[in-house]
Structure 1
């Protein structure tokens, strides 16, 4: 007899119940039938898995070994089953599965996809890790990556994917409303030398890009405090730190976004996909909807819309065959 997953489940059930009678009831079997099955399993494995005494059924050293392996294998197999079910279900329904880091596009893209293809709902996996998202696109657990990166880089984990910029935004600085530079339309990066910085976590190259820009401006920034986006905003509002932000940042009480003169830092939002995967066929359409979602955000930010009008090269990036790149 070959050992099967159902046999491992039986062994685990006996160990968890602590007796053959209780395990048989939990499995919906007669106790003699369970005993006979256990004996066949033990013959296959070459030794006793349990001993019975006045305290109930206890595992033997061989039983401990088999249980340890079973308790690793069974959840893994169940996870595989769930992932396969999700993948097959998504392929059957045409659902778009999007992985997104923090940015202005994801929410609007989901709404537009739902409006354009109401029979094919979109789902979003949100995380700060672009590398995690890229890995899931490569393994076909996600269809599209919607992530940010410094210009002109693409995520480190994006090997083999096709990338198309959705938009290019300047990086500004968020300060509290009483900050010495809060009344300025723009300020040089050097004017922020000595500030306490805060930032959200990420696994891209932005930290190095920021340090390089500061070096060119003639100073070395203090080590940023790393915390979630909400915590960063709270620090700014309290006057305890300043935070780099995207030009699309929404107006919030107590804080002000100051543009950086000359835009020494910029941030690209990229849509990525596997060129050999099923998502490639709809990539141009999804990119177009992502651009629409971005433009909807800009329309709600009149100050930023005016800034874009005076600074060509930034803003939405329409898809072109020449603009699609593979790392």
Structure 2
């Protein structure tokens, strides 16, 4: 029997889980089938890879040697596959702009600026709630640029494989219906909203946990949180069913007002990213980053109250 990549994955799974039972579950195999496969691997390599007893499985010296090689070979093969996919999807020179983004306020402004600056280059967009999905599509070469948001100081997805630039940092504001008793306040204490229901858009980052933590520090747990699309969040706020969470650049909207939270307990970073070895990593990366910063500055300018707020909160706003 010749050793194959799947055999190395089997050995690594047994070592990582510490038992054949857990490894079989992780690999989607029946334990007898995994045991038989391990025997064949050990026969091909000339010795036992694991010592097994009622406490689990521990690598033998031969097993440690195989694991050391597997931890080098398996990531290398995965990277080779990703590079091949990216190469197959690449066009060489960047003569088109494939932009991916979450449902934030900047994608429309970026498309407008790219289309104006490169009138003969096709511009396409793809949107998703998942920043991980967007980042993976950049890795695979199916998108050239990603425009996403990240909560607080949390790292962007695949930070070790993609280049990310922060273009702006916003506090998280709250949306209130115009008739709300606190709508006339210039700034709100989070604790003053303890009895409210909340509405927010979905995502796969840490914002939900950060919001819950901020509420706990303010002395309460949210009554309820409606997780839905942006239009539904706006509607729930307008009819008084909830108050919403939004980036400070959220545009003025009839029927509601946005207000900052005292101390800015929650923040949101706007990032643009690309693969460092793709055509997008050329001068076009500077072009897109600059266009994104301009789109962010325009979004800030559409909210005079936020622009005024920024004058006394210099750690927020455009990041050069």
- Normalised by the length of structure 2, the TM-score is 0.69
Give me the CA root mean square deviation: 2.0
Asked if the contact 1:113–1:121 (Cα under 8 Å) also holds between the matched residues in 2, the reply is no
Rounded Cα–Cα distance in structure 2 between residues aligned with 1:101 and 1:242: 22
Structure possessing the higher radius of gyration over alpha carbons: 1
Cα distance per residue 1:231-285 (max 9 Å; x no partner): 1111111100011011111111111111101111110011111112221112222
Residue 296 of structure 1: how far off its partner (Å): 1.6
Residue 316 of structure 1: how far off its partner (Å): 0.8
SS of equivalent to 2:240 = coil
Matched, 1:292 2:280: no
Rounded Cα–Cα distance in structure 2 between residues aligned with 1:192 and 1:91: 53
Residue 133 of structure 1: how far off its partner (Å): 0.2
Cα distance per residue 1:280-306 (max 9 Å; x no partner): 112222111100111122222211111
Asked if the contact 1:175–1:243 (Cα under 8 Å) also holds between the matched residues in 2, the reply is yes
Rounded Cα–Cα distance in structure 1 between residues aligned with 2:285 and 2:194: 42
Cα distance per residue 1:73-94 (max 9 Å; x no partner): xxxxxxxxxx99x946x55661
Rounded Cα–Cα distance in structure 2 between residues aligned with 1:126 and 1:91: 24
Gaps (5+ residues) in structure 2? 1-84
Matched, 1:238 2:239: yes
**How many correspondences in the alignment?**
235
Q: How does 1:1-327 map to 2 (within 5 A)?
A: 87=89, 91=92, 94-281=95-282, 282-318=284-320
Asked if the contact 1:101–1:146 (Cα under 8 Å) also holds between the matched residues in 2, the reply is yes
Residue 309 of structure 1: how far off its partner (Å): 1.7
Rounded Cα–Cα distance in structure 2 between residues aligned with 1:280 and 1:92: 10
- Normalised by the length of structure 1, the TM-score is 0.68
Rounded Cα–Cα distance in structure 2 between residues aligned with 1:148 and 1:196: 24
Residue 313 of structure 1: how far off its partner (Å): 1.4
Residue 147 of structure 1: how far off its partner (Å): 0.4
